[in-house]
């Protein structure tokens, strides 16, 4: 958690403190190594990599946050509907989820981005593509939790008293699935970050000069700058591993049987 917080603080705070503009081009400083003026060196356009890595992280967080918001909205509503409906409706809804899960998420995101790139390659387009390709696992997690909650005495009593499924969902289901939803956030976060990086390396990320960790790595790969590529890769790796550790810890804390 501390590592993730430190990385987030650097990405969100350093662009405001840095004396260098993350997008400031100066070809006279092109491809410089680490120095006092530029602790991580510069890229092929003379842009400070320390500032650019922070700005790229901020953009990556923005993409991940937007994607996760849509993933949680669709996945929670879809999973709740399937779990409460039960029977044939539940079967039909989950068959659709199974069919979509059989397709790797990145090809789905690529198709969406190719269609959207006719207009523009933007942060919103990337977030939208990743969310549409990734909501199914959250829906499955929430649906399983809702099916278990339906058997609880307080839900049975609420239903027997004449409460509608909408009221039951609002008063009982959503509050009691908060832990599952929180776990889903940290389970999906690494996949979204890695998805953004992969798509940016393919050239489908936000248009220049917007920095993301993915297109910083892509720039290093394109211009044979191993140092630049390793910096972005290290940031992605630290973030993904930290999110996985947090997800595992939350799962243990919220599921005592697993902790045993």
Q: Measuring CA to CA, how many Å separate 42 from each of 37, 56, 166?
A: 10, 14, 56
Q: What does each C-alpha distance from 178 to 38, 170, 174, 242 come to in angstroms? A: 44, 12, 6, 21
Q: Which two tokens stand for residue 186?
A: 């940290």
Q: What per-residue confidence (pLDDT) applies to 184? A: 84
Q: Is 203 left (phi over 0), alpha (psi -120 to 50) or beta?
A: left
Please tell me the predicted confidence (pLDDT) of residue 259.
43
Coil, strand or helix: which one is 233? helix
DSSP 31-91: T----SSSTT-B-TT--BHHHHHHHHHHHHHHHHHHHHHHHHHHHHHHHHHHHHH-HHHHH
What are the structural domains, with CATH classification, of the chain?
A: 2-12+48-259 (1.10.3720.10)
Report the pLDDT value the prediction gives residue 149, as an integer from 0 to 100.
Answer: 86
Find tokens 């400083």 and name the residue.
29
The predicted structure's pLDDT at residue 258: 45
User: With the C-alpha atoms ordered 116, 120, 125, 126, is the resulting torsion angle positive or negative?
Assistant: positive
pLDDT digits (tens), the chain, 260 positions: 677 788 888 888 887 788 888 888 888 888 888 888 888 888 888 898 998 999 988 998 899 999 999 999 999 999 999 998 888 999 999 999 999 999 999 999 999 988 887 666 788 999 999 999 999 999 999 999 888 888 888 888 887 888 787 888 888 888 888 888 888 888 888 899 999 988 988 888 888 788 888 888 888 887 778 888 898 899 999 888 888 888 777 777 766 444 44
Phi, psi (deg, nearest 5) at residue 116: -70, -25
């Amino acid at each position: 958690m501390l590592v993730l917080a430190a990385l987030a603080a650097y990405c969100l705070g350093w662009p405001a403190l840095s004396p260098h503009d993350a997008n400031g081009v100066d070809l006279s400083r092109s491809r410089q190594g680490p120095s006092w003026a530029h602790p991580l060196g510069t890229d092929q356009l003379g842009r400070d990599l320390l500032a650019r890595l922070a700005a790229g992280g901020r953009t990556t967080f923005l993409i991940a946050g937007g994607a996760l918001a849509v993933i949680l909205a669709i996945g929670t509503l879809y999973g709740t509907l399937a779990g409460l409906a039960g029977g044939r409706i539940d079967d039909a809804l989950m068959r659709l989820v199974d069919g979509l899960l059989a397709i790797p998420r990145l090809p789905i995101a690529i198709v969406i981005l190719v269609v959207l790139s006719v207009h523009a390659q933007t942060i919103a387009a990337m977030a939208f593509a990743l969310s549409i390709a990734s909501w199914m696992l959250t829906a499955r997690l929430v649906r399983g939790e809702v099916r278990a909650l339906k058997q609880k005495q307080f839900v049975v009593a609420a239903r027997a008293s004449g409460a509608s499924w909408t009221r039951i969902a609002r008063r009982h289901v959503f509050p009691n699935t908060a832990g599952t939803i929180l776990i889903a956030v940290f389970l999906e976060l690494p996949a979204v970050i890695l998805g953004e990086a992969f798509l940016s390396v393919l050239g489908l990320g936000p248009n220049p000069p917007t920095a993301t960790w993915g297109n910083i790595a892509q720039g290093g790969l394109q211009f044979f700058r191993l140092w630049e590529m390793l910096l972005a890769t290290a940031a992605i790796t630290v973030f993904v591993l930290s999110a996985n550790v947090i997800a595992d810890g939350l799962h243990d804390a919220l599921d005592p049987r697993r902790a045993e």
